[in-house]
Amino acid sequence: MQIAFVADETALFEDGQAALAVLVFEDAPSSVADAVDRRTGGALGRSLNAGRFTGASGKTLSVWGVEGIAGPLVVMVGAGKREALDAAGVEAAAAHAYAAAKSSGAETLAILLPARSAEFAARAAMGARLAAYRFDRYRTTEKPEQKPTLKRVVVAAEDAGAAETAYAPLAALAEGVEFARDLASEPANVLYPDEFARRVQALTDIGLEVEVLDEAEMARLGMGALLGVGQGSVRDSRLVVAQWRGGGDAQPLAFVGKGVCFDTGGISIKPAEGMEDMKWDMGGAGAVAGLMKTLALRKAKVNAVGLLGLVENMPDGAAQRPGDVVKSLSGQTIEVINTDAEGRLVLADALWYCQERFKPRFMVDLATLTGAIIISLGHDYAGLFANDDGLAEALTQAGTVEGEKLWRLPLPAAYEKQIESPIADMKNIGGRPAGSITAALFLQKFVNGLPWAHLDIAAVAWRKDSGWPTVPQGATGFGVRLLNRLCQGYEG
């Protein structure tokens, strides 16, 4: 999607290939909407009066063949209450405008804002760009009328140069989100641990330092928990370590992602129905990879390290069995009760390796860890668990600002009884009650007292509807935006 900013919107009215989007308030007139209405001889006002469109946030009204506008249509986009309009609202409105015009036949979406600040213009461009995401590389017979026609977004701004400057870090963020979405959307026969690692290694071109630990190195270190998960697959497991050094001598911030490139459940095999969705069980690793790409592209003034535990959980004759005992990198032993509780085994070794090697300021892990979190929170919140109140609050605030909402759940020590094992230091599953909590309590045993937070993103890594304006159906890239916002708070 091409993005441009203009200070003079006159040419946009005369572009026969441009759909015009105008923000409309529900409680007050807009000078921009009034100006467009006058240009069209009152056509927009008549359309408003004839229907039920009120300017409510998220609503749109498309008016076709408007006199005075060369393009095919004008999209009126509800912006809600005038005094409540903020940058997030502008971003959402632009995303709704894109959705309304994407298949209109127009090649350009021209967005006119009631306030033409650089920040609002940049966020409008961001909203349209993220809404335009589409994973279509394997479609070969799609009919032309099924494809979006929009190729370009132009936003009117008071100062086009200032808008471009404001958009630059958002463009880096959009690339990170798109990278994470691409990774999660790829089929598992294409994106397996080695290929995932190669795609992250390619980011050395933008300044990341990337190491890939193979199975021999992980075995030498003693990562029996992670390696046990992948031993039933013909695809070798990998641990990717990506570093961004933009913060001088400061302690790094650490992010750890679960990267199960495909999860059959192993010997504790999942039901066949819906198993195809398990290609996105690497959504946590995808988000961490997207974050690291964002930090490098925008030259963030922070030190950060991202660790990706990459495995494939398959049920062949060499696979891990229920009842097996594995020894983790920490030295703690784990009885594997259910081989479908594999992500926590991957994270156990990755978290211990991270805190031991990098001594970070804090660690945040992201994982599509439990189906129980979906029962708890639905599909609009990720679960947040933390041993540090300050880190939990910073994450929650970052998620609120970026529209990636978190809800904190407790870590009661009494529930640790559910993961006690009669033959090992712990077992990998605590039963149905409080399943997300006992999974987090398991992970806490591998952070060694370091400030840590766990984000269970199983409910939000993939959407089968388009309930969020900037997130089309499919992979969401959830976590990239909120972690980037978190990092901004630590930049020098």
In this structure, are strands 60-64 and 73-78 parallel, antiparallel, or unpaired? antiparallel
Check residue 312 and give left, alpha or beta (phi > 0: left; psi -120 to 50: alpha): beta
Q: Tokens for 30?
A: 């807009």
CB atoms within 10 A of CB 421: 15
Closest CA to 310 of 179, 193, 436: 193
270 is known as an active-site residue: yes
The yes-or-no answer on residue 344 being catalytic is yes
Residues 6+ apart with CB under 8 A from 342: 229, 260, 263, 266, 311, 313
Secondary structure (DSSP) of 235-302: SPPEEEEEEEE-STTSPPEEEEEEEEEEE--TTSPPPSTTGGGGGGTTHHHHHHHHHHHHHHHTT-SS
Residue reference for tokens 């060694």 = 448
Tokens describing residue 244: 């961004």
Active-site residue (options: 134, 198, 270, 301): 270
Q: What is the amino acid identity at position 235?
A: R
Q: What is the DSSP string of 37-90?
A: HHHTTTHHHHHHHHSS----TT-EEEEES-TT--SSEEEEEE---GGG--HHHH
**Residue 56 class from Cβ within 10 Å (0-12 exposed, 13-18 middle, 19+ buried)?**
middle
The answer to whether residues 127 and 172 touch, using CB atoms and an 8 Å cutoff, is no
3-state SS, residue 327: strand
Phi-psi group of 56: left, alpha or beta (phi > 0 → left; psi -120 to 50 → alpha; rest → beta): beta
In this structure, the chain runs to a length of: 492
- DSSP per position, 349-408: HHHHHHHHHH--SEEEEEE---THHHHHHTTS-EEEEES-HHHHHHHHHHHHHHT--EEE
Catalytic residue among 344, 445, 481, 485: 344
- Considering only CA atoms, which of 271, 286, 327, 304 is closest in space to residue 193? 286
β-partners of residue 209 are 243
Which contacts of 144-148 are long-range, i.e. CB under 8 A and separated by 24 or more positions?
145/103, 147/103, 148/102, 148/103
Contact between 242 and 210 (Cβ < 8 Å): yes
Residues paired with residue 362 on neighbouring β-strands, in sequence order: 253
The catalytic residue positions are 270, 344
